Structure 1
Amino acid sequence: MPKTSKQLIESGVSETEIRSFLVDGDQVSVTPRIHDTLRDAAKEEAALRGMSFSAFVRTCIIEELAKKGA
Protein backbone atom coordinates (compact mmCIF):
# COMPACT_ATOMS: atom_id res chain seq x y z
CA MET A 1 0.00 0.00 0.00
CA PRO A 2 1.31 3.50 -0.82
CA LYS A 3 2.72 5.43 2.13
CA THR A 4 1.78 8.97 1.03
CA SER A 5 -1.37 10.52 -0.39
CA LYS A 6 0.56 11.49 -3.52
CA GLN A 7 1.60 7.86 -4.12
CA LEU A 8 -2.00 6.80 -3.53
CA ILE A 9 -3.33 9.31 -6.06
CA GLU A 10 -0.70 8.32 -8.60
CA SER A 11 -1.69 4.66 -8.24
CA GLY A 12 -5.11 5.51 -9.65
CA VAL A 13 -7.36 4.62 -6.70
CA SER A 14 -10.84 6.08 -6.22
CA GLU A 15 -11.56 9.29 -4.32
CA THR A 16 -13.26 7.20 -1.62
CA GLU A 17 -10.05 5.22 -1.09
CA ILE A 18 -8.05 8.45 -0.91
CA ARG A 19 -10.44 9.86 1.71
CA SER A 20 -10.21 6.64 3.71
CA PHE A 21 -6.41 6.83 3.64
CA LEU A 22 -6.47 10.47 4.81
CA VAL A 23 -8.66 9.82 7.87
CA ASP A 24 -6.86 6.64 8.93
CA GLY A 25 -4.16 7.16 11.53
CA ASP A 26 -3.47 8.66 14.90
CA GLN A 27 -4.59 12.16 15.81
CA VAL A 28 -1.90 14.74 16.42
CA SER A 29 -2.06 18.25 17.79
CA VAL A 30 -1.46 21.09 15.30
CA THR A 31 -1.32 24.82 16.00
CA PRO A 32 -1.83 26.88 12.85
CA ARG A 33 -1.36 30.64 12.96
CA ILE A 34 -4.23 32.42 11.18
CA HIS A 35 -5.80 35.86 11.42
CA ASP A 36 -8.61 36.22 13.91
CA THR A 37 -11.05 37.30 11.19
CA LEU A 38 -10.42 34.06 9.26
CA ARG A 39 -10.79 32.00 12.43
CA ASP A 40 -14.03 33.75 13.38
CA ALA A 41 -15.50 33.29 9.88
CA ALA A 42 -14.55 29.60 9.91
CA LYS A 43 -16.04 29.12 13.40
CA GLU A 44 -19.30 30.71 12.21
CA GLU A 45 -19.42 28.49 9.12
CA ALA A 46 -18.69 25.41 11.22
CA ALA A 47 -21.53 26.31 13.59
CA LEU A 48 -23.92 26.76 10.66
CA ARG A 49 -22.99 23.24 9.53
CA GLY A 50 -23.45 21.83 13.03
CA MET A 51 -19.81 20.90 13.47
CA SER A 52 -16.85 22.00 15.54
CA PHE A 53 -14.16 24.29 14.21
CA SER A 54 -11.67 21.41 14.26
CA ALA A 55 -14.02 19.12 12.32
CA PHE A 56 -14.60 21.88 9.78
CA VAL A 57 -10.86 22.40 9.27
CA ARG A 58 -10.29 18.63 8.90
CA THR A 59 -13.14 18.41 6.39
CA CYS A 60 -11.72 21.27 4.33
CA ILE A 61 -8.26 19.71 4.29
CA ILE A 62 -9.62 16.29 3.31
CA GLU A 63 -11.75 17.84 0.54
CA GLU A 64 -8.71 19.59 -0.91
CA LEU A 65 -6.35 16.64 -0.64
CA ALA A 66 -8.87 14.11 -1.95
CA LYS A 67 -9.21 15.90 -5.27
CA LYS A 68 -7.65 13.79 -7.99
CA GLY A 69 -4.23 15.07 -8.93
CA ALA A 70 -3.76 17.09 -5.74
Structure 2
Amino acid sequence: MPGYKDLITENPSETAIRSYLVQGDQVSVTLRIPNALRDAAKEEAALRGMSFSAFVRTCMIEELAKKGR
Protein backbone atom coordinates (compact mmCIF):
# COMPACT_ATOMS: atom_id res chain seq x y z
CA MET A 1 0.00 0.00 0.00
CA PRO A 2 1.45 3.40 -0.93
CA GLY A 3 2.01 5.95 1.81
CA TYR A 4 0.47 9.40 2.10
CA LYS A 5 3.52 11.03 0.51
CA ASP A 6 3.24 8.70 -2.49
CA LEU A 7 -0.48 9.38 -2.76
CA ILE A 8 -0.23 13.16 -2.92
CA THR A 9 2.48 13.08 -5.61
CA GLU A 10 -0.11 11.47 -7.92
CA ASN A 11 -2.33 14.62 -7.74
CA PRO A 12 -5.37 12.76 -6.33
CA SER A 13 -8.82 14.17 -5.72
CA GLU A 14 -9.74 15.33 -2.22
CA THR A 15 -12.13 12.38 -2.00
CA ALA A 16 -9.30 9.95 -2.75
CA ILE A 17 -7.14 11.52 -0.03
CA ARG A 18 -9.96 11.40 2.51
CA SER A 19 -10.69 7.77 1.66
CA TYR A 20 -7.03 6.89 2.15
CA LEU A 21 -6.84 8.71 5.51
CA VAL A 22 -9.82 6.94 7.09
CA GLN A 23 -8.87 3.39 6.13
CA GLY A 24 -7.02 0.94 8.33
CA ASP A 25 -7.03 -0.08 11.96
CA GLN A 26 -7.23 2.43 14.78
CA VAL A 27 -4.17 2.96 16.96
CA SER A 28 -3.64 4.70 20.29
CA VAL A 29 -1.61 7.90 20.30
CA THR A 30 -0.31 9.94 23.23
CA LEU A 31 -0.27 13.63 22.50
CA ARG A 32 1.12 16.26 24.85
CA ILE A 33 -0.64 19.61 24.53
CA PRO A 34 -1.29 22.52 26.91
CA ASN A 35 -4.34 22.18 29.19
CA ALA A 36 -5.95 25.27 27.72
CA LEU A 37 -5.74 23.85 24.19
CA ARG A 38 -7.18 20.51 25.28
CA ASP A 39 -10.01 22.15 27.21
CA ALA A 40 -10.89 24.47 24.32
CA ALA A 41 -10.88 21.54 21.87
CA LYS A 42 -13.06 19.45 24.19
CA GLU A 43 -15.56 22.33 24.45
CA GLU A 44 -15.60 22.84 20.68
CA ALA A 45 -16.07 19.11 20.14
CA ALA A 46 -19.02 19.09 22.55
CA LEU A 47 -20.58 22.06 20.73
CA ARG A 48 -20.33 20.05 17.51
CA GLY A 49 -21.79 16.95 19.16
CA MET A 50 -18.66 14.84 18.81
CA SER A 51 -15.96 13.41 21.02
CA PHE A 52 -12.57 15.01 21.50
CA SER A 53 -10.95 12.18 19.52
CA ALA A 54 -13.38 12.59 16.62
CA PHE A 55 -12.73 16.33 16.60
CA VAL A 56 -8.95 15.82 16.46
CA ARG A 57 -9.31 13.24 13.66
CA THR A 58 -11.57 15.60 11.72
CA CYS A 59 -9.09 18.47 12.06
CA MET A 60 -6.24 16.27 10.90
CA ILE A 61 -8.18 14.96 7.91
CA GLU A 62 -9.20 18.49 6.91
CA GLU A 63 -5.59 19.70 7.00
CA LEU A 64 -4.13 16.68 5.20
CA ALA A 65 -6.85 16.68 2.51
CA LYS A 66 -5.84 20.25 1.54
CA LYS A 67 -2.77 18.81 -0.16
CA GLY A 68 -4.99 17.58 -2.98
CA ARG A 69 -6.32 21.06 -3.75
Q: What TM bracket, shorter-length normalisation?
A: over 0.9
- Unaligned stretches of 5+ residues in structure 1: none
Identity of aligned residues (%): 75
Farther-moved stretch of structure 1 (60-69 vs 47-56) = 60-69
TM-score, length-scaled by structure 2: 0.92
Aligned-residue offset at 1:57? 0.2
Aligned-residue offset at 1:26? 0.6
- Letter of the aligned partner of 2:60 in structure 1? I
Matches within 5 A, 1:1-70: 3-68=2-67
Aligned-residue offset at 1:7? 1.2
Instruction: Show structure 1 runs of 4+ deviating over 6 A.
Output: none
RCO (CA 8 Å, sep 6+): is it higher in 1 or 2? Answer: 2
Query: What is the CA RMSD across the aligned residues, in angstroms?
Result: 1.5
Q: Give the secondary structure class of the aligned counterpart of 1:58.
A: helix
TM-score, length-scaled by structure 1: 0.91
Q: Give the secondary structure class of the aligned counterpart of 2:67.
A: coil
Where is the helix percentage greater, Structure 1 or Structure 2? 2
Aligned residues: 69
